[in-house]
Amino acid sequence: MAKSKTIINAKKQSYISVPSQIINSLSSSSLQSLLVSPKRSSSGSFFLVSKYTCRSPKVWFFALFLFGLVGMLRLGWNVNTLILFSPDPDPCLQTQQNIDTIGQNHDSSVVSASNLGQPPHHSDEELGEFWKQPDGMGYRPCLDFSREYRRASEAIVKGRSKYLLVVVSGGISQQRNQIVDAVVIARILGAALVVPILQVNVIWGDESEFSDIFDLAHFKSVLEDDVRILSSLPSTHVMTRPVEERRTPLHVSPQWIRSRYLKRINREGVLLLRGLDSRLSKDLPPDLQKLRCKVAFQALKFAPPILELGNKLAQRMQSKGPYLALHLRMEKDVWVRTGCSPGLSKEYDELIQDERRRFPVLLTSKSNMTYHERKLAGLCPLNAFEVTRLLKALGAPMNARIYWAGGQPLGGKEALSPLTREFPHFYNKDDLALPGELEPFAKKASFMAAIDFIVSEKSDVFMPSHGGNMGHAIQGQRAFSGHKKYITPNKRHMLPYFLNSSMPEAEFNSIIKELHDESLGQPELRSSKAGRDVTKYPVPECLCNDVRSHSV
């Protein structure tokens, strides 16, 4: 979880103190393709056959051979098949025509179930067991709201007296969670929501605004029947001093929200909320749960430039068949915060321990436990060696193409060497992007994380090395998209077998597979996981397998 920030962009600060700043509207410009199709070579001239050449039997034999070859081609033999089965493993080295078409027809939302790009279809027999998708049991999106909810909507979206301002913080996935809660809180209060302000990230220096990352027009359009969304406060409330609330406790109910804020926002007209992370209860009435899904899976669409480039990179990974996406949580701050050791060398272990001693506030997990206790409890990220062994046990082929998302790991490339030795077709966005494509996003951590999100979500198989907001968001999105394969490492139960060096490899693989039989993205009922977020477990509130249910 990103550290809470205290520094806010000066422009936004004035807007919060005296909310007169108008949030920038969405730019309609799209990222222009940096690729130019090569000129086609001119066609060659016809063979000129003299009367003397025609008399040669060899020439006639050659002519018959060419005639037969042309006939075979006309009967349907596809020359492109040669390209698909080319031995070149690099997905970037495609024909120029394929590259030029990347991003075409991909102006749809990366977080909309009906618009998600699907990988090329291959049968399980062709691809092998590892790429087999889980049984979705017929679950489909069903965001049909109750009659009472729809009846109340007209008054709420036409309201002109109450306005909610929110400041959201953290990384992009943490911000997404808070934006979802902000919409629901606005609905509970019957207030219009001013476009959320993204707090400046002092760690990454990212000053991006909402409309830089998300498609604002789409956000407003999708939610127009649920909550009124405004780019700025109206002139009647510009000079109103907002009621500011910083002390919202964790997991509050709609009743608490109303009792705490309703009178104040009715009186003052404007309410400002900060630090929304995990403030709203995960157990809400059905209509509000559906609204959470609607925001997370349909309204929060990435801005066109991000979406275009993310789709390009995903298509480059898809160009030669299925691919696996790994979210590797191996950055220095992750090891510090979790109280775990990277297992690279004594030098790196001491570096992490020293950082933890100097900044004990960074340790966010079970500070009374030793490292070994955390490890055995499944609270530590998997390192590259453990990820490699798990993938091999689950049957990932050595020629599997892997996209890895996340920041640079502690230890650099050497930290990834166990993976790259076993799975050499290993790429990230820097490997896939052509010169200049990432340059507009180079200093925007949120943009880079969004690109990782897109490519990971579109993968055939996804696996995180540790929990976290991005992994949770992708888990829910893949469920909403038809339960695409999502491997949840069963760390607590599998690690004792990792420590048993005398166990035969075949026995180890069999045990690991059995431990993960029910952790491959199958439908999981949230009703059996009270307190869990519906945007991670959308069944049964947002997904139904009743054919009579209204599908979105």
Q: What would the pLDDT profile of 506-518 be if each residue is shown by its tens digit?
A: 999 999 999 999 9
- Are residues 321 and 400 in contact, defined by beta-carbon separation less than 8 angstroms? no
Residue 67 has what pLDDT?
56
Q: How large a percentage of the chain has pLDDT more than 90?
A: 57
Task: Please report the beta strands in 178-263, taking only residues with DSSP state E, as ranges in sequence order.
Answer: 192-194, 197-198, 229-230, 243-245
pLDDT the model gives residue 456? 97
pLDDT of residue 202: 61
Place of tokens 């080295």: 93
Give the model's confidence band at 367: pLDDT under 50 very low, under 70 low, under 90 confident, else very high.
low
Higher-confidence position of 165 and 107: 165
Give the angle 44-45-49 at the CA atoms, nearest 5°. Answer: 135
pLDDT at 73: 47
Of 75 and 495, more confident: 495
- What's the rounded mean pLDDT across residues 220-231? 97
pLDDT tens digits for range 477-488: 999 999 999 999
As a whole-number percent, the residues of the chain with pLDDT over 70 amount to 74
- The DSSP call for residue 208 is -
- Looking at residue 530, what is its pLDDT? 73
Give the Å distances, CA to CA, from 284 to 82, 123, 196, 368.
54, 40, 22, 33
Confidence (pLDDT) at 66: 64
The structural domains of the chain, with segments of one domain joined by +, span: 147-298, 304-548
Q: Is the pLDDT of residue 455 over 60?
A: yes
Contact 5, 174 (CB under 8 A): no
Q: What is the mean pLDDT of residues 4-27?
A: 33
Task: Please determine, for residue 65, whether its predicted confidence score (pLDDT) is greater than 80.
Answer: no
pLDDT above 70 (res 401): yes
Q: Name the more confident of 226 and 21.
A: 226
Using CB atoms within 10 Å of the CB of residue 376, give its burial: 0 to 12 exposed, 13 to 18 middle, 19+ buried: middle
Per-residue pLDDT at 238: 75
* CATH entry 3.40.50.11340 includes domain 147-298: yes
Determine the pLDDT at residue 68.
58
Distance between CA 131 and CA 133 in Å, rounded? 6
* Per-residue confidence band for 369, with pLDDT thresholds at 50, 70 and 90: confident
Helix, strand, or coil here: 311? helix
CB 2 within 8 A of CB 201: yes
Instruction: State which amino acid sits at residue 254.
Output: P
* Model pLDDT, residue 504: 95
Rounded mean pLDDT of 158-163?
Answer: 93
209 pLDDT band, cuts 50/70/90, is very high
Does the pLDDT at position 20 exceed 90? Answer: no
Residue 286's pLDDT is what?
96
Does residue 40 surpass a pLDDT of 90?
no
pLDDT tens digits along 254-279: 999 999 999 999 999 999 999 888 89
Residue, of 256 and 56, whose pLDDT is higher? 256
Model pLDDT, residue 205: 67
Q: Name the residue with higher pLDDT: 475 or 30.
A: 475
Token look-up 């430039």 returns 305
Q: Which residues contact 227 (CB under 8 A, 6 or more apart)?
A: 156, 157, 183, 186, 187, 192, 193
The predicted model gives 274-296 an average pLDDT of 94
pLDDT recorded at residue 426: 97
Task: Answer whether residue 118 shows pLDDT above 90.
Answer: no
**Amino acid 343: pLDDT:** 85
Residue 3 has pLDDT above 60, yes or no: no
Q: Which of 19-23, 446-450, 464-468 has the lowest mean pLDDT?
A: 19-23
pLDDT of residue 128: 86
Q: What does the pLDDT read at residue 58?
A: 54
pLDDT (mean) for 409-423: 94
